[in-house]
Amino acid sequence: MKNSEIAVRRDDAISRGVGMTTQVYAARAENSEIWDVEGRRYIDFAGGIAVLNTGHRHPKVIDAVKKQLDAFTHTCHQVVPYENYVALAERLNGIVPGDFRKKTIFATTGAEAVENAVKIARAATGRSAIIAFTGAFHGRTFMGMALTGKVVPYKVGFGQMMGDVFHVPFPIELHGIDVETSLDVLDKLFKADVDPKRVAAIIVEPVQGEGGFYEVPRALMKALRQICDDHGILLIADEVQTGFARTGKLFAMQHHDVAADLTCMAKSLAGGFPLSAVTGRAELMDAPGPGGLGGTYAGNPLAIAASLAVLDVIDEEGLCDRASQLGGRLKQRLESLRSDIAQIIDIRGPGFMVAVEFGIPGSVKPSAEFANAVRLRALNKGLILLTCGVYGNVVRFLAPITIQDAVFNEALDIIEASIRECATEAKA
Ligand SMILES: Cc1ncc(COP(=O)(O)O)c(C=O)c1O
């Protein structure tokens, strides 16, 4: 079967609302490589959008899931519970940042984790308003969409957003917004639009994911913690994209020495199986009444088994350190191009959550065209990359942290060649 034949059927059968970045139909995958239905091999630097920190089909994850598959696949934890669900909750309560007693709930997607964190915050505080940041991405459900700080394509055509959601500019010095400005807008928001005593939570990604891999400046994170404490507001960390060793630490909040009251997790939590979680202060987590949280598939046994194995693998294979090493090598290679490639305006990111931002030469004006050209060029050479950023001008790298050195080096060469070729073409 050919990719192009499936693509025609796909266009006929599936809503265009489910956007696509490649027409590479997967046949099989192993660690950091994917083979398509035509037998062509690709290096995967997308990781199913930050899901595969432990790689495709890690043997330990597959073993754990196979064992669970042979025992049972679904009972619904609210009906007939299972021990693994409890074991994983205990484990997350122990590792999520915060020196306080914690409890956990499971859901299926990142958006659901965010929805549940907001429900818990509202139930615990008796308040309704939520503050988020411009450029944030928190999911495609109604509250997730409202919290998301990017209109195109996430909010277009979907009518009125959920109320009582406010956005503060995310500080990006490169584009002229510093921490002071963000805090000043937050202060004005409290004066002009919403009494801080009505705010249930501030939600923040420690490193914006879809928004462009911008790290929250330490000063802002510290200030947010203080503002929350001053006004009885809860701090929610959305670690859906940043979690599980990607940034060189298990959680990105550990870079800030700040603990959130509630932490949202998903993606690499379960190495390719659908699972999300909210972990937080025990007394807050107990605010909703019995039956107020949960879901038919929430905490699916196969995904829970996978997640327990993922946490073992991260530990046993030292993936936090490995992420820092790989990220350092990637940044070094990108830095070596800076003097030749005028379109590179920034290289950044903690650990292996690395991105390169492209602009119009001689300015910091975004060039989505260049970023997309690099992505397509790399795809042609057998490397799957993703773009991101409010202006779509950032190429982000989300390779498995378990990638073998030889494959990683091959990918670095493709990245360099793709950027160089695109720059040469842009000059012509
Ligand atoms: C920070 C963040 N929060 C929430 C989500 C939503 O997760 P999901 O697509 O699993 O609903 C994403 C997805 O990219 C994300 O990056």
Q: Which residue's alpha carbon is nearest to atom 8 within ligand 1?
A: 110
Across the beta sheet with 394-397, what order do the strands follow? 344-348, 354-358, 394-397, 386-388
Q: Which residue's alpha carbon is nearest to atom 13 within ligand 1?
A: 139
In angstroms, what is the span from residue 326 Cα to ligand 1's centroid? 24
In angstroms, what is the span from residue 240 Cα to ligand 1's centroid? 6
Q: Is the pLDDT of residue 355 over 90?
A: yes
94 C-beta neighbours (distance < 10 Å), count: 9
CA 309 from centroid of its chain's CA atoms: 20
Mutate to test the pocket of ligand 1, among 108, 115, 137, 276 (most ligand atoms within 8 A of CB): 137
Q: Is the pLDDT of residue 428 over 90?
A: no
Q: What is the band of 412 on the pLDDT scale with cuts at 50, 70, 90?
A: very high
Q: Which residue's alpha carbon is nearest to atom 7 within ligand 1?
A: 110
The helices-and-strands tally (H runs, E runs) of the chain is 13, 15
241 in ligand 1 pocket by Cβ < 6 Å?
Answer: yes
DSSP, res 102: E
pLDDT digits (tens, 9 = 90+) for 174-227: 999 999 999 999 999 999 999 999 999 999 999 999 999 999 999 999 999 999
CATH number (3.40.50.10490, 3.90.1150.10, 3.40.50.150, 3.40.50.12780) of 3-57+318-427 reads 3.90.1150.10
The domain locations on the chain are 3-57+318-427, 72-316
Evaluate whether 3-57+318-427 and 72-316 have a shared fold: no
**CATH second-level architecture of 72-316?**
3-Layer(aba) Sandwich (3.40)
* Contacts for 242 with CB less than 8 Å, ≥ 6 apart: 205, 206, 207, 209, 251, 252, 353
85 in ligand 1 pocket by Cβ < 6 Å?
Answer: no
As a whole number of angstroms, the distance between CA 266 and CA 307 comes to 10
As a whole number of angstroms, the distance between CA 367 and CA 363 comes to 10
As a whole number of angstroms, the distance between CA 200 and CA 5 comes to 50
pLDDT digits (tens, 9 = 90+) for 79-108: 999 999 999 999 999 999 999 999 999 999
Half-sphere exposure of 174 (CA within 13 A, CB side): 18
β-strand pairing of 199-204 with 276-281 = unpaired
Q: Which pTM does this prediction carry?
A: 0.97
In angstroms, what is the span from residue 271 Cα to ligand 1's centroid? 15
As a whole number of angstroms, the distance between CA 380 and CA 369 comes to 16
What does the pLDDT read at residue 72? 98
β-strand pairing of 276-281 with 26-30 = unpaired
Phi/psi for 387 (5° steps) reads: -100, 170
In angstroms, what is the span from residue 99 Cα to ligand 1's centroid? 26
As a whole number of angstroms, the distance between CA 269 and CA 148 comes to 22
Mutate to test the pocket of ligand 1, among 148, 154, 207, 267 (most ligand atoms within 8 A of CB): 267
Q: Is the dihedral of CA 18, 20, 23, 28 positive or negative?
A: negative
Is the separation of the CB atoms in 386 and 47 below 8 Å? no
Q: Which residue's alpha carbon is nearest to atom 3 within ligand 1?
A: 138
What does the pLDDT read at residue 60? 98
For residue 73 the two structure tokens come to 């696949």
